[in-house]
Amino acid sequence: MISTMAYAPTKLGDFIDVKHGFAFKGEHFVDAPTTDVVVTPGNFAIGGGFQVDKAKYYNGPVPEEYILQPGDLIVTMTDLSKAGDTLGYPAIVPESSSVRYLHNQRIGLVRIKDRAEADSRFLFYRLCAGDYRHHILATASGSTVRHTSPGRICEFETELPPLAEQRAIAGVLGALDDKIEQNRRTARALERLARAIFRAWFVDFEPVKAKAAGATAFPSMPKPIFDALPTTLTDSELGPIPEGWEVKPIGDAVSVKGGATPSTKKPEYWDEGVHCWATPKDMSRLAHPVLLDTERHITDEGVACISSGLLPSGTVLLSSRAPVGYLALTAVPTAINQGFIAMVCDGPLPSSYVLNWTHHVMDAIKARASGTTFPEISKRNFRPMPVVVPTPEAVHAFAEIVDRLFDLITACINENNRLADMRDYLLPKLLSGAVRVRDAERLAEEVA
């Protein structure tokens, strides 16, 4: 098995070029899905990687030389966040049978020079490392919008092991990433299943309609719950709902809370804080709607400054501005800033129901938002929103099923956090030669 050792540093520009993208015209961007997706900085994950769920669709002319190919290595050269969250980070263009990805301006396409012995997957991991990240941020221009350039990227000095060594390192780290991606797909499938059950039971009322049509059971619904269902629908402000069910304002079904930011100038509120304190930025980083931790933590004194205090596990968080619509279920007690509507599920509806209801009515929530600088949904406008309140038995049966799905989602997230920690631990050590490939393979197998 190959083992690592240190090699003489060289500049990235000795073996790669970075090509600018094309300025696709805004008049051709559309909301409806098309077969062309323009890659933007929003497609880059913090820490590196491609995010497929943030598609910017395009319906206009496309120069052939700006069509990206699966496996292409790209970097983002512009970032709107103050901290430059994704600036300079790499991604690999994914395989897709439904769309083609287009090379937009301010996205760099990394091209390996002729006869340069460099592996693109190894380069991906090299561009995720901390020393490269420090170089990019230290040489970036701009304050509100951060920029880097092909020249600055190519100036970075690094060691380049032999090609076989590069591929071995990429293989070890790639195995961990493959497992992470497998867990992500599993978690996404579980989320879709939970939403499908919610829609069938509580939006389309399929079990009630099936029973009215003569069915004696319904897939996913326990038989005693099905047997207790009515066979007729009755009018409500939301349209026909099962007889015996109710429609209430969401503010009557849950406790709606807001948050605050204690003075950041008082260290007694923040230093050595032990309680999670969430902002919409924490939500923006979630791959799945479960909040396990936050970037900042707050002390008991800090919590005491927030009227809603420490919200219990199982609270549903909805970002109410900048932007409206981030959604998650807290898995730990959490305090929040002023950018949220928090729903404490202390009434007839459990958190799994409220989370799926909120996702289902998100368009209506956004329609109630107002504001000149940026849209915001106030608690006053949110509380009257109508929600169907089924019988306690139906709600309890749904929670039993979906809570198990979210336990599995949480397990996937926890495993991915362990795998990512191992990958991030191994990355600089493999690149520096401090850890041999065969030892890294053994560690990766133990964690995976």
Q: What are the Cα distances from residue 155, in Å, to 13, 21, 109, 144, 151?
A: 6, 20, 16, 24, 6
| Per-residue pLDDT tens listing for the chain (448 residues) | 444 445 556 899 999 999 999 999 999 999 999 999 999 998 998 889 998 878 899 999 999 999 999 999 999 999 987 777 899 999 999 999 899 999 999 999 999 999 889 999 999 999 999 899 999 999 999 878 899 999 999 999 988 888 998 999 999 999 999 999 999 999 999 999 999 999 999 999 999 999 999 999 999 999 999 999 999 999 999 999 999 999 999 999 999 999 999 999 999 999 999 999 999 999 988 989 999 999 999 999 999 999 999 999 999 999 999 899 999 999 999 999 999 999 999 999 999 999 999 999 999 999 999 887 789 999 999 999 999 999 999 999 999 999 999 999 999 999 999 999 998 888 888 877 777 777 666 666 665 5
Interatomic CA distance for residues 403 and 355, integer angstroms? 11
Fold for domain 246-388?
A: Adenine-n6-DNA-methyltransferase TaqI; Chain A, domain 2 (3.90.220)
**236-265: b or e for each residue (b if 16 or more CB lie within 10 Å)?**
eeeeebbeebeebebbebbebbbbebbeee
Helix (H) / strand (E) containing 178:
helix 163-202
264 CA to centre of own chain? 27
In terms of Cα–Cα distance, which of 88, 76, 87, 94 is closest to 40?
76
Q: Residues 436, 440, 441, CA angle at the centre, nearest 5°?
A: 120
CATH class of the domain defined by 162-243+390-448? mainly alpha
**pLDDT at site 46:** 85
DSSP-assigned letter for residue 435 = S
Question: How many other β-carbons are positioned within 10 Å of the β-carbon of residue 355?
Answer: 27
Fold for domain 9-161?
A: Adenine-n6-DNA-methyltransferase TaqI; Chain A, domain 2 (3.90.220)
Interatomic CA distance for residues 328 and 314, integer angstroms? 9
**pLDDT at site 440:** 62
Interatomic CA distance for residues 107 and 20, integer angstroms? 6
**Domain pair 9-161 / 246-388, same fold:** yes
Q: Residues 20, 24, 26, CA angle at the centre, nearest 5°?
A: 140
**pLDDT at site 430:** 85
| Tokens encoding 124 | 């991906």
**pLDDT at site 1:** 43
Domain boundaries in the chain? 9-161, 162-243+390-448, 246-388
**pLDDT at site 81:** 77
